[in-house]
């Protein structure tokens, strides 16, 4: 009879052991799911020339690790917190990296929370200089996308995936951007394939978490500091048609041309070397063209005008021609660039 009981006990233990092994095998075959959230404190020091910006934010990673040893809690049902110290060697924080950061990020504070249900939370405050592609065709009324890209460093998609990305606060206001208007934000997860890490043609697949903030540059500063002075210089160049002395006409035109060159140097320092012209550069070019055509006109009138009556008729014509031509040019530029 004892042999029968031992046989039943052995059978039950074998079944339990087999189920435990299958459970562990199934857990190990599933990728680690890591929830990612970023709480934005500030985006500052936006450099249009280098296409960079500084970000100060909190990063939070949350995941469940069934391999956490029971002895860590030591029968304590409360959570365990490690702050700014070396984490336990038995706890593996998922390795990650910021893809579009320049240099290393500075970690101001970090924290690891181990909950009794074996849920782990990694929290750090960081700041660093990030970069992203920028389109300056509509500058200074341009719209840009400021991105934060977080990617698994050593664990492929089969081992780790990012889920449920969230960017906080849910509503961003002008306090996060001093010179920009917030248009919206977006967070999502995609995957990246790297062929250089594998001999196979398929490559290695890694999970990537993307946080995007859309903003439009405030144009008021450029209207008063750049566009209005350029407009005044262009209008002033047309006043030579009311001046009778030819020498004074030349002096006015050359002085305005030199002033326009100064504005060109100023705007060139605000942007990188681009293979295309921005909206503000087209306005400056229009100033060059207007002043140059005015200069050609007064020289031509002085050289070929036979009498004062002819000069007056020519000047009267160009008093209307140049303003209309300039307005037409600006309208065409606005239509081509903004529509």
Output the CA torsion 178→182→187→193 (10° steps). Answer: -70
CA torsion sign, 152 to 153 to 157 to 158?
negative
pLDDT of 199: 63
| CA-based nearest residue to 206, from 129, 121, 99 | 99
What is the CA angle 297-298-304, rounded to 5? 85
Secondary structure of residue 67 in the 3-state scheme: coil
CA 155 to CA 99: how far, in whole Å?
15
Place of tokens 């005044």: 232
Residue 126: strand pairing partners = 57, 107
pLDDT of 27: 45
What residue ranges of the chain have pLDDT lower than 50?
Answer: 4-6, 10-13, 16-28
pLDDT of 162: 94
| CA-based nearest residue to 39, from 169, 127, 146 | 169
pLDDT of 161: 93
Residue 211 CA from chain centroid, whole number: 10
pLDDT of 142: 92
pLDDT of 301: 85
């Amino acid at each position: 009879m004892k042999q029968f009981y031992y046989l039943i006990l052995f059978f039950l233990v074998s079944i339990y052991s087999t189920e435990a092994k299958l459970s562990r095998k199934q857990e190990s075959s599933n990728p680690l799911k890591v929830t990612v959230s970023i709480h934005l404190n500030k985006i500052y020091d936006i450099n249009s020339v280098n296409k960079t910006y500084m970000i100060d934010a909190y990063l939070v990673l949350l995941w469940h690790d069934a391999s956490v040893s029971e002895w860590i809690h030591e029968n304590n049902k409360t959570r365990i917190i490690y702050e700014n110290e070396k984490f336990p060697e038995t706890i593996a924080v998922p390795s990650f990296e910021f893809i579009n950061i320049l240099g290393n990020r500075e970690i101001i504070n970090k924290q690891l929370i181990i909950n009794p249900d074996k849920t782990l939370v990694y929290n750090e405050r960081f700041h660093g200089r990030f970069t992203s592609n920028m389109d300056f065709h509509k500058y200074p009324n341009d719209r840009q996308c400021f991105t934060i890209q977080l990617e698994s460093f050593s664990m492929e998609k089969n081992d780790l995936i990012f889920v449920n990305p969230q960017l906080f606060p849910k509503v961003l206001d002008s306090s996060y951007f001093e010179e920009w208007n917030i248009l919206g934000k977006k967070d999502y997860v995609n995957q990246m394939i790297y062929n250089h890490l594998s001999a196979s043609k398929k490559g290695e697949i890694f999970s990537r978490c993307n946080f995007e903030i859309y903003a439009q540059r405030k144009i008021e500063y450029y209207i008063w500091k750049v566009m209005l002075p350029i407009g005044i210089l262009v209008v002033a160049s047309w006043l030579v048609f009311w001046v009778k002395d030819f020498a004074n006409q030349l002096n006015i035109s050359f002085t305005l041309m030199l002033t326009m060159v100064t504005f060109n140097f100023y705007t060139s320092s605000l942007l990188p070397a681009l293979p295309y012209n921005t909206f503000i550069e087209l306005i400056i070019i229009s100033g060059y063209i207007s002043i140059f055509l005015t200069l050609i006109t007064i020289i031509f009138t002085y050289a070929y005008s036979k009498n004062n009556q002819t000069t007056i008729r020519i000047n009267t014509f160009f008093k209307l021609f140049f303003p209309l031509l300039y307005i037409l040019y600006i309208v065409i530029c606005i239509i081509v660039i903004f529509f």
